[in-house]
Amino acid sequence: MDTNPPARATRRQWLGLAVIVLPCLLVSMDLSVLFYALPALSADLSPSSTQLLWILDLYGFVLAGLLITMGTLGDRFGRRKVLLAGAALFGIASVIAAFSTSTEMLIAARGLLGVGGATLAPSTLSLIRTMFHDPGQRQVAISIWTMGFAGGALLGPIAGGVLLEHFWWGSVFLLNVPVMVLLLALGPVLLPEFRDSRPGGFDVLGALLSLAAILPVIYGIKKIAADGVAWEYFGWIAIGLALGALFLRRMRRAEHPMIDIHLFRRPQFSGAVATGAITFALMAGLGLFISQYLQLVLGMSPLEAALWNLPGMAGMGLGVTVATALSARMRPALLVGMGLLVAAGAYVLLAQVDSTGGLGWVVTSQVLLAFGIGGVVTVATDLVMATAPKDRAGAAAALSETANEFGGAIGIAVLGSIAAAVYQANLPEHIVGPARETLGAAHQTAAHLPAELGGPLLRAANESFVGSMQWIVWLAAVGSVVIAAFVMLVLRRVPARKPAQEPVASQPA
């Protein structure tokens, strides 16, 4: 084995990183940017309530369902090739969505956006594995990549609000086009091609099973989060889990499996994937409550509430920077554990809010939370990439991203169900009907009542909601401490990352 220090990245690799981070930001933005466009879109296309849900959810469903397939395609046929094909499809689908003349046309465009978006996360992350051989530089690159995805989630509502103040609803999709054109123009020049040197055949049955397993589970979880617990939705989850078992059996027996399930026997890989999924579960569930608290309890406009999320970006940037700087001196277990404990402290601060005011607590806790989680996600993602064989980095990245998608969906469903139960239990018994179901319905009901009736209803609903939110953040705090202990145990033998530890990677094709 060649023990020479790994080659360091040049200016070309860093420029290539800039080219692939921008599309990642847009993929993340597309998950949330549409929320502000719904009123104008509904007035123009007149979708039914079911069609409106498909417009919102189809993108995320398709993206989550195809991540593993697209990651494997990149490993087998070329990561740059798959990335550029996905970028072209994403750009074309964005134009179709922007100028849709019917609900069906927009739904189809959202599905195509999901197909294109599914190529971007695993291809870009695995290309980082190819471009940056030095472990320290690779972690810096992963930190920037992480910031791109996190920044997109925060900027999506802001960009949507600003665009819709000046343009028609389709403008939120046209943001994607110039960035995809830039990627298509510069990608062939700045990005290396890489494919598995012994790819074997593509497992079509495995790809179909992965899609068939993931979609019912995601659908069932999302329906539980939206409509509450029902046996029908558990049935969908059970179908998905059964198909998932068949998928795993296929991966054990196939001559050329899509994913190497033996990776999960490595503590640093399985521990990193589990940490990312659970962390996303806690954060995704919490984000839903913070948005409602700012808009309904404190009375902010959607755009104003989104702007108050911006300080979190500074916390995220500082967190990934500190984690990257310390990664050569501290073990991953300690870095991730400390980040999770900071997150637990942030959740405790958030529990101090009340129904009359708490903006300072919200902003402070979000900055601390982003700081802690930024380091956690960066270190966990780097562990996934460092552990996976270079030839299977795309599939490994897709596994990590799929786990995060599941974590987020489960977090919203589980924490949302707990919060709904606490909200209803805290309300006075004389409050019935829709106002007893959600805080939003309570505000709508109060708006149609005389002040002497609407005022007490609002106060009771706001206090009950804050009580349910406090339950959730305390659960998140305890959960973060438990995960920190889990990480310290599972990753205790993984050493600090040092540039000299990794041999020179073979040259990409």
Quickly list DSSP for 300-340: --HHHHHHTTTHHHHHHHHHHHHHHHHTTTS-HHHHHHHHH
- Cα–Cα dist 348/354, whole Å: 13
CB 27 within 8 A of CB 81: no
> Is residue 403 within 8 Å of 277, Cβ to Cβ?
yes
- Architecture of the domain delimited by 7-199: Up-down Bundle (1.20)
Q: CA 130 to CA 191: how far, in whole Å?
A: 10
8 A C-beta contact, residue 385 and residue 128: yes
The CATH class that applies to domain 263-499 reads mainly alpha
Instruction: Let me know if 71 is exposed, middle or buried by CB neighbors in 10 A (0-12, 13-18, 19+).
Output: buried
Copy the structure tokens of residue 116: 């294109």
- Cα–Cα distance measured from residue 509 to residue 359, given in angstroms and rounded to the nearest whole number: 53
pLDDT at 198: 66
The helices-and-strands tally (H runs, E runs) of the chain is 18, 0
Q: How far apart are CA 60 and CA 180, in angstroms?
A: 19
Cβ-Cβ contacts under 8 Å for 56 (sequence gap 6 or more): 34, 35, 38
Radius of gyration for the chain, computed over Cα atoms and rounded to the nearest angstrom: 23
pLDDT of residue 94: 92
* Residue 492: DSSP 8-state: T
What is the DSSP secondary-structure string of 426-457? HS-TT--GGGGT-HHHHHHHHHTS-HHHHHHH
Determine the pLDDT at residue 285: 65
Check residue 505 and report its DSSP letter: P
DSSP summary character for residue 293: I
Contact 313, 151 (CB under 8 A): yes
Give yes or no for a contact between 307 and 294, defined as CB atoms under 8 angstroms apart: no
- Max CA-CA distance within the chain? 80
Interatomic CA distance for residues 93 and 497, integer angstroms = 41
Stated pTM of the model: 0.79
Quickly tell me which residue has 């979000």 as its tokens: 366
Residue 110 parent element (H or E): helix 103-131
Is the Cβ–Cβ distance between 330 and 350 less than 8 Å?
no
The closest alpha carbon to 64, from 404, 331, 361, 394, belongs to 404
Residues 6 or more apart whose Cβ sits within 8 Å of residue 328:
136, 496, 497, 498, 499
- Tokens in use for 224? 């539980």
Parts of the chain with a pLDDT under 70: 1-7, 9, 31-32, 35-36, 39, 49-50, 53, 195-203, 225-226, 285, 288, 391, 393-394, 496-509
Listing DSSP states for 210-228 in one string gives HHHHHHHHHHHHHHHHHH-
Give Cα 336 to chain centroid, integer Å. Answer: 18
Q: How confident is the model over 80-122, as pLDDT tens digits?
A: 888 899 999 999 999 999 998 888 899 999 889 988 888 887 8
Token pair 């101090």 in the structure block, residue: 352
Amino acid of residue 136? G
Helix axes 311-326, 359-387, angle to 10 degrees: 40
User: What pLDDT is recorded for position 96?
Assistant: 94
